[in-house]
Structure 1
Amino acid sequence: QFNYRVILQTGSIKDLEAGKQCHTEVRYVSTADQALAVFAMLYEDTEKKSDMKKWTGPVRAIGSLKFQKLMAGMVDVHSSCSDEIKELVEHIWSEAMTEVTSILGDISGLKIEQVEKAEAILVKVRDAIKSSRPENIIQYLISEFYSTLYHKNESSDTVVGDKRRWLVKKQDMCQLIRDVISVSEMTYYETRAYVEAKYAALRCRITNLRGHQREEIEQQITSSLEGTDQDLTVLNVYEVWRQVEDLDFRHDL
């Protein structure tokens, strides 16, 4: 009985990220010690190749889906990044913190369990709306949501009009709070925490595009502008890839 497998993939990272197939070898072994021995052998063979260079970040399509999800959850707080990316990360952090604190106030005491409970209530609200439950039941659930996640200037009494729109807005907000809490817990809620930790906690890869990739996107932006009097300068073009979301995305659509 084989309980472990060691996968060796060879090829170009660019080809993998473009969705192209690579050469894959799978070795099955019975014990963890055997798996480690096989891995060590393959690693040593790979290191002997002078044209190889190490890549520490997550890469699309490498390994099984289970392995990719595991890699997505691993955070390297010492991951280095360029000055341009640091500036972008700081901007993202500042905007997110401003958005969340304007709605909830101080979040240093907020726990992820509260957010999860609030999200569960939103699911109940969605189901109640979908099944056309009585208004008083929907309003009770909304009140329970605000009791779970205190808002500075909102309550169940302020929810009027299209509740579906309110629901989508609060679902997006909960996802934003999740991300902010993740970063905040990692940086101990320091507003000036070092940028590498903020970048790592986002669990994404940000690439400053250059060359023909940048030029292509610049052309798409400028061609989408209406009129000829638009004065626009593109300073930087970034690609943001978040592995967790990429794994759940329907690429066949």
Structure 2
Amino acid sequence: MTPVPPTIAGIPAEHQPATGSAPRWPLVLYFHHVHPGVRHYTALSPDEFERGLEQVLERFDPYDPADLLADGGPRRPERPTVLVTFDDGYRDNTTHARDILDRLGVRAVFFVCTGMLGRRSPRPREDYLTFEACDRLAGEGHLIGAHTRTHPHLDRIPAADGRAQTRGSLDDIRERYGPGPARLFAYPYGGVPAEPHLPDDVLAFGTVRSPATPWTANPQQIRRTYLPSGAADTWAELVLHWRTAWDGPTAPSAPGPS
């Protein structure tokens, strides 16, 4: 039978993280900040980030993001794997997260808002990577993907504006990193517009607002989930649930002799 998902107190039903991926497809996690002073539902301190990833990696192998760019599209791995992603392009992704990823042997996808790169601020929520920092990440085996230019709600703005945001950020990535990474996109706020804005060959990632369907069935609305901030005591149960669900539902046992 399908395992019952754990419910995390204080999180609305539509944002619950327990549903991971479609059975036998990579679990995809998303983060925004790794910083000791940021409060956000997907922001962890460096120590929390390291401990959380260690728990995940006890049950899932790291997914190599280069496999996302395989000819013919990404293939379903034979073993449980986890793809780590970051959204927006905050500077703490390098100052705090990068070394932890290196220690754990994880390569990630950094979905950046290309029109906001280079903005600096003493406030971590307004302090962004530069393109040069993204270049260094790419040189180390991480991938840089598109996340629009200025992070609008794509499901709330006119379609023409949404296309300009999505296509513009894909063009920015293509110009700097080539056609492969320009086939990767993540929706700000997980908001998928009713009218498609993306080329057919783009693999697009949502949030917990997207359904857990096979990538081949819904390649432009791939579900991602997260390790909830402030709820580290639930992570072990969450990871176990994600791993059990990866195997898919099992048939109930046959009744024994009466």
Normalised to the residue count of structure 2, the TM-score between the two structures is 0.24
- Higher Rg: 1
Give the structure with the larger strand fraction.
2
Normalised to the residue count of structure 1, the TM-score between the two structures is 0.25
